[in-house]
Structure 1
Amino acid sequence: MPRTADVVVIGGGIHGCSTALHLALRGLKPVLIEKDYAGRHASGVNAGGVRQLARDHAEIPLSVSSMEIWERIEDLVGDDCGFESHGTVLVAESDEELAGFRARVDDLRLKGFTHEELIGRAELRRLVPAVSEHCPGGVVSRRDGAADPFRATQAFRRRAVEQGAEMIEGVTVTGLARNGNVWRVETSDGSIEAPKVVNAAGAWADRIAAMLGEPVPLTVVAPMLMVTSRLPAFIQPVVILRGRKLSFKQLGNGTVVIGGGHLATPYRDRNETVLDWEKLAISARTVWELFPVMRQATIVRAWAGIEAYMADGIPVVGPSATSEGVFHQFGFSTHGFQLGPGTGAVVAELVATESTNVPIADLAITRFKA
């Protein structure tokens, strides 16, 4: 006989683990299936940025609601997850770029969002004293920060189990079909039946969607990161660029994590990535030019994790358009870590009540129907 659950969650990243926890907090019995182990890919190996800054308009409400959870994360999961809130600064490297930032901030204000604040040269230098003199200003989101991604994912996993969720790791979903009024999820370790299913399978989520007749334009990518040797403390906010690819933050131990979007080559069926050292050198050169203090640092390690990237760069969140009782939560396009706590809460609310007050209509899978 197949085992049963109230909800089957497919995928053990921070999104799946957050959803399992919030389902359990609502009194439901979720079973989470993860083909590797929780946090094996995107959720455990990203740069750890917890930012509302520079997001697509469609995902800002979800980001804002998620930030409220991050600010009380220890109350929720029993671990502060290494979360520190020193803000995120988007640095402009020219007056023309700063003018573009000004137009965006003004537009956000008209839409009722006030978390992005335009700053000039003096405030930029106050927040990021080590930045190059040629930078005329930027944008800051002062509540933003960073956390430890693997630690956070494990904290959600641990608290979900404490609240009654079941975690099954090292097991692959092989089939998904309606069986009466329940879904039968076939796995490499037998079947599980549940009336509701959540597709949080990350870079493999398009395969789950295809089982439901919902093909999506998902690309598999592998953002690269580097970490340096230890340096004296010189920066607190997370720094990002838009003209050139860069995310940049110093950890408490003095090491500096460098990312920003340069990609390795992913092989998702082998769970492997191959780094592109020429592109990593471009990241290193950007840091060299923007932060002279970094010119004496050495690179200690580089890595990449496998992630899903949607054609329009924003995630799929909401109910399936073809299959009653199925909910999608994937495609976070290299910026999903901050969204994990809030998206888990929203999807659990959808599963339990079939509605949510967080505006997510623009994230629906139906946008790819044409």
Structure 2
Amino acid sequence: MKADVLIIGGGIQGCASAYHLARQGVAVTLLEKDYVARHASGVNAGGVRLLGRDLAEVPLSKASMHLWQTLDEELDADTGFRATSLVNIAADEADIATLKAREATMHAAGHTHEHIIDRQELREILPQVHPSCVGGATSKLDGLANPFRSTNAFRLAAERRGAHIVEGAELRSLRKVGPTWIAQTQSYSYEAATVVNCAGAWADRVALMIGDNVPLSHAAPMLMITARMPHFASPVVGAVSRQLSFKQFDNGTVLIGGGAKGFADRTTNKTRLDYAKLARAARTTIDFFPIMARASINRMWAGLEAYMPDNLPVIGPAVNAENAFHAFGFSAHGFQLGPIVGKVVAEVILTGQTGFDLSAFRIDRYDRKIL
């Protein structure tokens, strides 16, 4: 089977890339070893976050936030996106000092979307927050979406424009013969002039097949969801210096994250929960919101996610092969970036350039430089 572009990986980055290429008339084949949105892109917390981004990511994140506002209309789908705002709570004055230092850095770079709030403003937004909390930072543009629906919305929109999505197709080998990339799965061979590595927790293996080496690790971020509770929190909630992340849905259930990691085995495609860490995450949630002591946990799970040492993704061309590109290593915060990353990947493939500075995301940033 032949295509112009072959994408490895059916998460939101891969599906968004397939969509943006297919809408330009490019013949795209996407290979996913399990099913679309099986791993990080389908089981994450669904935060659509601009607040607290690394400075290098802010331009991409701003552009992606703009795309999220009309994504349902563009993809003709319900992604579940709602601009609820996000609040990072300051537990003490040290947290306020951290926020003020960040504000100065952000303003110097021309970014004014983050706003510091005082104790009274925090109470007005989150009446159930613990009385000891002194303020926080908020971004009114932020919100949430349904990760499984969002990823599949890109997948279906790509297919409507002619993309070929193949599930249950695990990559066994990838090699270049002349100008052609040849990918072999357990059943078929695929050929394309260009290959894109969006393989998530398995992306370092695909990168090696392309010829690039990268210090990627993987882990299993865990989530819990409660039974329905009286509504008490409209924004997505985080904390400045503690592992806190939760959101309450319209039906009253509360999704609790915070970055606690379970045990990941990518060889067997399995994760295992660390109940001690989940208990600490629950305790932290109660510390900030005493009302959560009444909550009953309904379900717990973990997904496989890829991490770079600096928690920044890899986005851009391969360094040791032509007509090969990477978009992986989003370190548990790539969901919001999906729409713009897909667009950028398509731009770079089709035109050789993009309006964004991708130097911080190059795959060889950890290579030793020989003087």
Smaller-chain TM-score bracket: over 0.9
Correspondence for 1:237: 235
Correspondence for 2:161: 163
Q: TM-score, normalised by structure 2?
A: 0.98
Matched, 1:354 2:366: no
Q: Secondary structure at the match of 1:367?
A: coil
Q: TM-score, normalised by structure 1?
A: 0.98
- Give distance in 2, aligned partners of 1:91 and 1:362: 28
Residue 302 of structure 1 and its aligned partner are, at CA, apart by 0.4
Q: Which sections of structure 2, spanning at least 5 residues, go unmatched?
A: none
Matched, 1:183 2:197: no
Residue 80 of structure 1 and its aligned partner are, at CA, apart by 3.1
Q: Deviations over 1:240-283 (max 9, x none)?
A: 12322111100111000000110000011111111000000001
Report the RMSD for the aligned CA atoms in angstroms: 0.9
Matched, 1:340 2:350: no
Match of 2:268 among 250, 267, 270: 270
Residue 189 of structure 1 and its aligned partner are, at CA, apart by 2.1
Correspondence for 2:51: 53
Residues 103, 114 of structure 2: 8 Å contact kept: yes
Correspondence for 1:32: 30
Counterpart of 1:231, as a letter, is: M
Residues 15, 343 of structure 1: 8 Å contact kept: yes
- Give distance in 2, aligned partners of 1:65 and 1:322: 29
Q: Which sections of structure 1, spanning at least 5 residues, go unmatched?
A: none
Query: For residues 1-370 of structure 1, what are the structure 2 equivalents within 5 Å?
Result: 3-370=1-368
Q: Secondary structure at the match of 2:364?
A: helix
- Give distance in 2, aligned partners of 1:43 and 1:234: 27
Residues 59, 363 of structure 1: 8 Å contact kept: no
Q: Secondary structure at the match of 1:26?
A: coil
Residue 175 of structure 1 and its aligned partner are, at CA, apart by 1.4
Counterpart of 1:133, as a letter, is: P
Residue 213 of structure 1 and its aligned partner are, at CA, apart by 2.6
- Give distance in 1, aligned partners of 2:179 and 2:210: 16
Residues 136, 240 of structure 2: 8 Å contact kept: no
- Give distance in 2, aligned partners of 1:68 and 1:188: 40
Residue 187 of structure 1 and its aligned partner are, at CA, apart by 1.7
- Give distance in 2, aligned partners of 1:288 and 1:15: 34
Residue 210 of structure 1 and its aligned partner are, at CA, apart by 1.1
274-283 vs 182-191, which moves further: 182-191
Residues 59, 360 of structure 1: 8 Å contact kept: no
- Give distance in 2, aligned partners of 1:159 and 1:91: 37
Residue 118 of structure 1 and its aligned partner are, at CA, apart by 1.1
Q: Deviations over 1:31-85 (max 9, x none)?
A: 0000000000000000000001111111111111111110111122112311110
Q: Secondary structure at the match of 1:18?
A: helix
Counterpart of 2:130, as a letter, is: S
Residues 43, 337 of structure 1: 8 Å contact kept: yes
32-41 vs 77-86, which moves further: 77-86
Runs of 4+ with >3 A deviation: none
Give the aligned length. 368
- Give distance in 2, aligned partners of 1:242 and 1:117: 13
- Give distance in 2, aligned partners of 1:80 and 1:354: 32
Q: Secondary structure at the match of 1:7?
A: strand
- Give distance in 1, aligned partners of 2:231 and 2:95: 28
Residues 39, 303 of structure 2: 8 Å contact kept: yes
Counterpart of 1:322, as a letter, is: N
Residues 62, 360 of structure 1: 8 Å contact kept: no
Counterpart of 2:48, as a letter, is: V
- Give distance in 1, aligned partners of 2:127 and 2:289: 10
- Give distance in 2, aligned partners of 1:29 and 1:245: 43
- Give distance in 2, aligned partners of 1:180 and 1:34: 25
